[in-house]
A and B are shown apart, each in its own frame.
Chain A
Amino acid sequence: MQYLLGNEAVAHACLEANIDFASGYPGTPSSEVIDILRSQEKRGFYVEWATNEKVAYENALAAAWCGVRALFTTKHVGLNVAADPLMTSAYTGVTGGFVVLSADDPFAHSSQNEQDSRCYAQFARVPCLDPASVQEAHDMIRDAFSLSEEFGLPVIFRPTTRICHSKSDVDLGTVGDEHRVGEFCRDPKQYVVIPAHTRVLHRLLNEKQPAIKKRLVELGYNTAEVRGKTAIIASGVAASYVQEVIGADVSFAKIGAYPIDEDWLRTFVDAHTRILVVEELAPVVEEAVRQVATTTEVFGKMTGTVPYEGELSPAAVAAAMATAGFSPTQSFPAQRAPAAVAPRPPILCAGCSHRSTFYAMRKVFKDGIFPSDIGCYTLGLQLGGVDTTICMGASITVGSGIKQSGEERDVVCTIGDSTFLHTGIPGLLSAVYNGANMTVVILDNRITAMTGHQPNPNTGITAMGTESTPISLDAICRACGVSFVETVDPYDLPLLLATFRQAKEKDGVRVIIAKQPCVITARRAGIKRKPYAVDPERCTGCGVCRSFGCPAIAFADEKAWVTDLCAGCGVCADICPSGAIHREGR
């Protein structure tokens, strides 16, 4: 037994399954799986971080075409980016086991929406496994590879945040060391999806469905126990919440795999007069239940009994049970969070270089519009530097759209280095091509920080720790046709302000690359900067530094002081109008 994070258990199961190839793009709550795989001391397999999910999916798919066991990891919204190859890879199929790990995020703890990856499985007609516990997540991954090989199809594995980032005692198997070597067998009828081939492949995919359903029942991931005339059917982690509060005289069915066999489901549904369906996100199980139900009364999202939004909990399940006339075995007190406790939202770190970039941007472009993107810097919202975010890469495209719509105010986009390489480049190219008039700021901290400091092509190192070919963001921008490209150190506030002013005077697409390593990685690399301090004699308590929003600046008795969080970036010293902030020891 070991006490493991869900994602650690999943990674371990991949090792037990003799995985040969792993590719993904970081995204909470999925990132730790590849981080753990790549940090294995003895590694007999290939692992990479790709530039985006479409790239990662296609890399892993091709490996599975060569007969090796491949894993693709993403967060739910990344599956949108990989949806193009996903849909057609169900037609082509695979020869080696191919597992598509798409981690969903009910309650959007760290995401821009609450979409449900099970819908993609249904859409693409591929099997989907949906674990209810950390142990089951581990066990399912082992089966997922053989299931994929048995049916020659990608298998979607969709844990949710409360699986990925929950910990549990887990029973592990033995790590394998038998690895395959890829070999591509030419077969245009399978791998070249021209219309004549794809029509046949589509029929073959549909013909596989009945056998898949039967097999999933045999595997035991869809189980049912008849204990009375009423029943609860639950899926994924919600099933474990139901088990906590369900009475002994209420039947229980647990759905862990899709597509659900209709005959199996009908037998269970028909044995009951009333059924409550409990699942997070989309009503996938509920729709299946309603399709087979004839006289049974069904409660779920469609009756307003279970919420469509957010995540469930034992208390939420008990409330749904009470509404549907089922008696939960536990009652939960109606405790309210105390009102009016000063909120403590996440915030850019002390010494984060993004803070000074946002400060300078707003100082120069007072009337500007600020489309932004997905990363730590989305927290620039608190600094008034973020007006839009929608998905990865959508700062430059949204900025271009706003400008071309006729909006006359200046548009300044912010995008991180990893996000720029992910999907920012096509937007930049299109903006230049179509003559947009805007400024793009690449927040270049040399790493994919938000998700846990994964390397990207800009970092200079691969997931496996080998040095990579250096790339140049400056050269990429110039190759896209941008003539104004300036790289500045965002800790140098006067230069940063001057560069923004320069950009403001120019026409066309202007790019500023604000380059400074992430303060966390810099600290880990041993870079030390002397902290700053406030001279209380000179501090007038004006509060200008307060509006800078650095967590290392506190106030007491109408005077500012610098706390021990200070990372020594020194930008506050440039901001202070009284010259009261200086490097310690001076």
Chain B
Amino acid sequence: MNGSFDILIVGIGGQGTVLASNVLGEACIREGRPVRSAETHGMAQRGGSVESHVRIDGRYGSLIAPGCADLLIAFDLLEALRYRHYLPEGGRLVTNRRFVTPTSVYMQKQTVPDEAEILAALGDLDLTCIDAAVIASEAGSPLSQNIVMLGGASRFMPLAAETLLAAVRACVPPKTVAINERAFSLGRDAAGRC
């Protein structure tokens, strides 16, 4: 491998995957490390499945190949299932416990697995599961779920927690700094209890 630490962040358009990737990028700049990332814009964004590739210490392109991610962060449990093939066997997944049922499921009367079934299907991975909605509310805003997830995943990243926290402060809207600091710390604590 070329020495980069490759993180794939997945979720639903509007959940803040781009902000999360900005925090990681900002943290890399603060630690003086090269970084490459790729994100979803435009048509593909509207409530659809989205992915952000972040390559810490990346020097070449921004794309992570399936089977090669060092860490998968899923803001939605169903999206964890959709993108699990980006991890190698037994790879590390940090996922939100909850998921949003796609509207197309209701429209076309498809079936989706329940939480227990999805967790069972992900059971062969090194799994950390976080109830981001509950923790984000505890932090002060349900909108801070992305930073909760980042806090949880921060235990498994080659970036210092203090750097990440500084990057969170720099990237979130000024009015929400205190909430997001709490979200990050509570998420990190929650992952430690798993």
The answer, yes or no, to whether B169 is at the interface (CB within 8 Å) is: no
Closest to A5 in B: B39
Contact of A28 among B13, B41, B81 (CB under 8 A): B41
The answer, yes or no, to whether A469 is at the interface (CB within 8 Å) is: no
Contact of B102 among A337, A344, A555 (CB under 8 A): A344
Contact of B38 among A162, A347, A452 (CB under 8 A): A162
A338 touches B29 (CB 8 A): no
Bound form: Cα–Cα A7–B102 in Å: 31
Which stretch from B58-66, B144-152, B157-165, B175-183 is at the chain A interface?
Answer: B58-66
Contact of B86 among A109, A166, A335, A348 (CB under 8 A): A335
The answer, yes or no, to whether B140 is at the interface (CB within 8 Å) is: no
A-B contact pairs, 23 of them (CB 8 A): A1-B29, A1-B32, A3-B26, A29-B41, A110-B42, A168-B34, A240-B61, A241-B60, A241-B61, A243-B60, A313-B61, A314-B65, A330-B1, A333-B67, A335-B66, A338-B81, A344-B102, A344-B104, A345-B49, A346-B48, A347-B48, A450-B43, A452-B42
Bound form: Cα–Cα A175–B84 in Å: 43
Q: Which of A346, A547, A549, A550 counts the most B-chain CB atoms under 10 A from its CB?
A: A346
A345 touches B48 (CB 8 A): yes
Q: Which of A32, A168, A344, A547 counts the most B-chain CB atoms under 10 A from its CB?
A: A344
Contact of A554 among B22, B66, B106 (CB under 8 A): B106
Contact of B88 among A165, A333, A344 (CB under 8 A): A333
Closest to B61 in A: A240
Give the shortest distance, in Å, between B89 (CB) and chain A (any CB): 9
Bound form: Cα–Cα A555–B60 in Å: 45
- What chain B residues lie within 8 Å of A40 (beta carbons)? none
Closest to B105 in A: A342
Bound form: Cα–Cα A303–B44 in Å: 33
- What chain B residues lie within 8 Å of A376 (beta carbons)? 46
A3 touches B28 (CB 8 A): yes
The answer, yes or no, to whether B137 is at the interface (CB within 8 Å) is: no
A341 touches B47 (CB 8 A): no
The answer, yes or no, to whether B12 is at the interface (CB within 8 Å) is: yes
- What chain A residues lie within 8 Å of B101 (beta carbons)? 342, 554
Bound form: Cα–Cα A437–B129 in Å: 59
Bound form: Cα–Cα A537–B64 in Å: 50
A346 touches B43 (CB 8 A): yes
A167 touches B39 (CB 8 A): yes
- What chain A residues lie within 8 Å of B68 (beta carbons)? 332-333
The answer, yes or no, to whether A237 is at the interface (CB within 8 Å) is: yes
B65 touches A342 (CB 8 A): no
B102 touches A342 (CB 8 A): yes
- What chain B residues lie within 8 Å of A554 (beta carbons)? 101, 106
B103 touches A167 (CB 8 A): no
- A330-372 interface mask toward B, CB cutoff 8 Å, 1 = contact, 0 = none? 1011111110011111111100000000000000000000000
Give the shortest distance, in Å, between A350 (CB) and chain B (any CB): 8
The answer, yes or no, to whether A2 is at the interface (CB within 8 Å) is: yes
The answer, yes or no, to whether B116 is at the interface (CB within 8 Å) is: no
Give the shortest distance, in Å, between B84 (CB) and chain A (any CB): 6
The answer, yes or no, to whether A460 is at the interface (CB within 8 Å) is: no
The answer, yes or no, to whether B185 is at the interface (CB within 8 Å) is: no
Give the shortest distance, in Å, between A69 (CB) and chain B (any CB): 27
- A29-66 interface mask toward B, CB cutoff 8 Å, 1 = contact, 0 = none? 10110000000000000000000000000000000000
- What chain B residues lie within 8 Å of A1 (beta carbons)? 29, 32
CB contact under 8 A between A336 and B85, given known A315-B66, A345-B104: yes
Contact of B45 among A31, A166, A346 (CB under 8 A): A346
- What chain A residues lie within 8 Å of B60 (beta carbons)? 240-241, 243-244, 314
B46 touches A379 (CB 8 A): yes
A342 touches B78 (CB 8 A): yes
A343 touches B102 (CB 8 A): yes
B37 touches A2 (CB 8 A): no
Give the shortest distance, in Å, between B162 (CB) and chain A (any CB): 18
B67 touches A314 (CB 8 A): no
- What chain A residues lie within 8 Å of B22 (beta carbons)? 3, 167
CB contact under 8 A between A343 and B104, given known A169-B28, A243-B60, A333-B68: yes
The answer, yes or no, to whether B16 is at the interface (CB within 8 Å) is: no
- B78-108 interface mask toward A, CB cutoff 8 Å, 1 = contact, 0 = none? 1101101110100000000000011111110
The answer, yes or no, to whether A382 is at the interface (CB within 8 Å) is: yes
The answer, yes or no, to whether A10 is at the interface (CB within 8 Å) is: no
| Residues of chain B from 1 to 57 with CB closer than 8 A to chain A in the complex | 1-2, 12-13, 21-22, 25-26, 28-29, 32-49
B41 touches A165 (CB 8 A): yes
- B residues lining the A interface (CB < 8 Å): 1-2, 12-13, 21-22, 25-26, 28-29, 32-49, 60-63, 65-68, 78-79, 81-82, 84-86, 88, 101-107, 110-112
- What chain A residues lie within 8 Å of B32 (beta carbons)? 1
B103 touches A550 (CB 8 A): yes
Give the shortest distance, in Å, between B168 (CB) and chain A (any CB): 14
Contact of B48 among A29, A31, A344 (CB under 8 A): A344
A162 touches B61 (CB 8 A): yes
Give the shortest distance, in Å, between A436 (CB) and chain B (any CB): 30
| Residues of chain A from 146 to 175 with CB closer than 8 A to chain B in the complex | 162, 165-169
Bound form: Cα–Cα A555–B101 in Å: 9
Q: Which of B21, B62, B85 counts the most A-chain CB atoms under 10 A from its CB?
A: B62
- A517-561 interface mask toward B, CB cutoff 8 Å, 1 = contact, 0 = none? 000000000000000000000000000001101110111000000
- What chain A residues lie within 8 Å of B106 (beta carbons)? 546, 553-555
Bound form: Cα–Cα A166–B35 in Å: 10
- What chain B residues lie within 8 Å of A343 (beta carbons)? 49, 102, 104
B41 touches A110 (CB 8 A): yes
Bound form: Cα–Cα A204–B73 in Å: 57
Bound form: Cα–Cα A334–B66 in Å: 8
The answer, yes or no, to whether A451 is at the interface (CB within 8 Å) is: yes
CB contact under 8 A between A169 and B34, given known A237-B61, A333-B68, A347-B103: yes
- A237-B61, A342-B112 known; 18 new pairs, CB 8 Å cut-off, are A32-B41, A162-B62, A166-B61, A167-B35, A167-B36, A167-B37, A167-B62, A240-B60, A241-B63, A330-B2, A332-B67, A333-B68, A335-B86, A342-B105, A349-B46, A376-B46, A546-B106, A551-B47
B84 touches A338 (CB 8 A): yes
| Residues of chain A from 95 to 114 with CB closer than 8 A to chain B in the complex | 109-110
Contact of B37 among A168, A241, A342, A347 (CB under 8 A): A168
Bound form: Cα–Cα A169–B29 in Å: 7
Bound form: Cα–Cα A414–B101 in Å: 29
A244 touches B61 (CB 8 A): yes
Bound form: Cα–Cα A211–B108 in Å: 61
Contact of A349 among B25, B44, B47, B63 (CB under 8 A): B47
CB contact under 8 A between A549 and B88, given known A110-B42, A162-B38, A166-B36: no
Closest to A109 in B: B44
